[in-house]
Amino acid sequence: MEEEKFDCIIVGGGVAGTAAAYVLAQNGAKILLVEKGEWTGSKNVSGGVIWGPTVWEIFPELINSIENPPYERFINRRRLSFMSEASSFSIDFHSEEFSSAPYNGVSVLRSRFDKWLGEQVEEAIAASDYAEDSLVATSILVDELVNENGRVCGIRCGEDIFYSDSVILAEGVNNLLTRSCGLMDDSYEAELVGTGIKEVWQFDRDLLESRFQLEGRSGVSNEFVGCTEGVEGGGFVYTNLDTISIGLVLGLKTLRDSGKAVYDILDSFKAHPSIKPILQGGKMVEYSAHVVPVGDIRLVPKQLYKDGVLVVGDAAGLLMNTGKSIEGMNLAMESGRQAALAVLRAKKQGDFSSKTLGSYQESLAQTFVLKDMNNFQGAVKFLHQPAMFKSYPNLVNQIMKNLFVADGEPKRKTRQIIQDCISESDLSYWDVLKTSLWGGAAL
């Protein structure tokens, strides 16, 4: 291998890595994007919905792809469901205001979507001054970072060493390289992550659209609480073009403590009387799983950069959990963009030391990424309470049942029903009062 030097090597072809690579290629940098899978996305898994404008801003071509988009459906109906063993209570919001592009959210299947992102990077490379020198390299695992005088200056893949002025680590949550260079310590804490487990079910498209009341390319996101046998976490159902993604994210520490098998909890979710009919007439076509950060700021490195290296996306523990929604991919993409911009500034100044790369963290702190994560740490703690996963969903359903039941008995007023339900539950009035006040402030 002849020695050629890149401005930046990006490790990982997920949403963060491709966003960084695309911004760099478009702005005259010589880059190498390395992906261990067969194509960008081939080893990637998410729920998943990409929320917010970031993806549309970074990849404006997405707007032009509306006839045949790489995403599955745009989300204009959001539903949050609280489940008990026999019942479910949902908050359902549908809006035409979420029905025009750039969409508020789009459902994606990552192996397809990230492949499209990789193609965008290749097109940006082809249009750049480094059409012959920059590249997207797949089926290549990065074994280690190469250091010189304490600064990162490249990567080693088997026998080959590739040199660069900077490396962006977009390797995902199983971030071996990020930990090896000291950006994160070596303790893999179960408490700070969850395990996501998912099945994709295929349907006749007409059946899917009538079942979920969809029109054209519209779609639904539905999150569930109380469906995890008391284990911290929740469930999701997202509509894709002719499939649905159904799964759970389970807090890994409480899962470990519970002694329950992850697939058994998924099976019991799928067997719930409110879920079972959703799957009728469908066929399971893919099973997958992946660890995810749970939004705890303790997973995020205090410093996201060192001499010659920056860390983005899941590798940096970036995920926001507000209780109302969980967002990860947009944070990943924004961090990829900000890291790329910092590398471009460093290139201009001819200085890739931590002094200039530190502007990445400064600018990230000004975006929604770190602002939201910091602002919603209370929500993360609030949502960690064990009662959130069983006692409260049960209580909500008990109250709703009593509001709606016609049992031949004289009807009680709402306030009486609530009081009775609380005293029959495993919660005290004090618990409920405290939780409502805390929830109001934290969420």
Partner 1 sequence: MSASIKDRLSTLKTTISKKPHIVVETQICDTKCPHQCTTYVCPAKCYEIRDGKMLFQYEDCIECGTCLYACDQGAVSWNYPESGHGVTFPMG
Query: Which residues bind to partner 1, rule: CB under 8 A?
Result: 36-38, 41-46, 109-114, 139-141, 157-158, 173-174, 176, 188-190, 193, 195, 197, 199-200, 243, 252, 255-256, 259-263, 267, 270-271, 276, 279, 284-291
- The amino acid that residue 287 corresponds to is Y
Ordered DSSP codes for 98-132: GSSSSPSEEE--HHHHHHHHHHHHHHHHHTSTTTT
d(CA 281, CA 60): 37
3-state secondary structure of 29: coil
For the bound state, the minimum distance from the C-beta of residue 46 to partner 1, rounded and expressed in Å, comes to 7
For the bound state, the minimum distance from the C-beta of residue 95 to partner 1, rounded and expressed in Å, comes to 28
Q: How many CB atoms lie within 10 A of CB 324?
A: 12
Please identify, using beta-carbon distances, which residue of 261 and 437 lies nearer to partner 1.
261
3-state secondary structure of 26: helix
Please identify, using beta-carbon distances, which residue of 172 and 323 lies nearer to partner 1.
172
For the bound state, the minimum distance from the C-beta of residue 255 to partner 1, rounded and expressed in Å, comes to 6
Helices (H), 127-183: 176-180
For the bound state, the minimum distance from the C-beta of residue 42 to partner 1, rounded and expressed in Å, comes to 5
Please identify, using beta-carbon distances, which residue of 158 and 410 lies nearer to partner 1.
158
3-state secondary structure of 284: strand
Please identify, using beta-carbon distances, which residue of 111 and 398 lies nearer to partner 1.
111
Q: Is the dihedral of CA 82, 108, 73, 325 positive or negative?
A: positive
Q: And the tokens for 152?
A: 């990162």
For the bound state, the minimum distance from the C-beta of residue 299 to partner 1, rounded and expressed in Å, comes to 10
Please identify, using beta-carbon distances, which residue of 248 and 422 lies nearer to partner 1.
248
Please identify, using beta-carbon distances, which residue of 16 and 396 lies nearer to partner 1.
16
Count CA atoms within 13 Å of residue 294 on its CB side.
27
3-state secondary structure of 292: strand
For the bound state, the minimum distance from the C-beta of residue 431 to partner 1, rounded and expressed in Å, comes to 29
